[in-house]
Amino acid sequence: MTNGEINLRALSELDLDAVTAIDEKIGGKYRPDEWETRLMYYLRRDPDALVGAEVDGELVGFMLGDVRAGEFGMEEPAGWIEVLGVDPDHRGKDIGGRMLQKMFRNFRERGAKSVRTLVDAESQAPLLGFFGKSGFSETPVRTLEQTL
């Protein structure tokens, strides 16, 4: 690939270093152990629901998710977007949108009728904006939390 074309592909364990580097650029923390655990979990659980975006052979974005049903009375299978990361140097090129569309296709093939995600509206406002522009809306399902 040359000329900045975006290539979407499945992620593999060989992408661990690149995923860790993208996460570090986004959040400022180096977390290789956490990403090894997360990436391997999703590779075992649903390898088709891991999308990577390359530009000129370099991984510049990733998305992890899966299809689940039966959570707290929500019986219909739904796709869940768990993590989205796009290298800040490559934002504004519709990389996230293209990965999302690929994920939607995978979810539909697996029987999902909807897609859900969780976003912290205070600390992840740009992500909230991205999902809103992509057609997501708030639902009556509420997140409840108790500090331990």
Residue 1's pLDDT is 41
| Under 8 Å between Cβ of 22 and 60 | yes
| Under 8 Å between Cβ of 98 and 8 | yes
* Residue-range domain boundaries for the chain: 6-133
What CATH number was assigned to the domain covering residues 6-133?
3.40.630.30
Along the chain (148 residues), what's the average pLDDT of each consecutive run of 10 residues? 81 96 95 94 87 96 90 82 94 94 94 89 82 87 81
Residue 68's pLDDT is 85
Residue 119's pLDDT is 86
d(CA 127, CA 123) in angstroms, rounded, equals: 9
Residue 139's pLDDT is 83
Q: Which helix (H) or strand (E) holds 79?
A: strand 78-86
d(CA 73, CA 93) in angstroms, rounded, equals: 38
Assigned token pair, 122: 């205070």
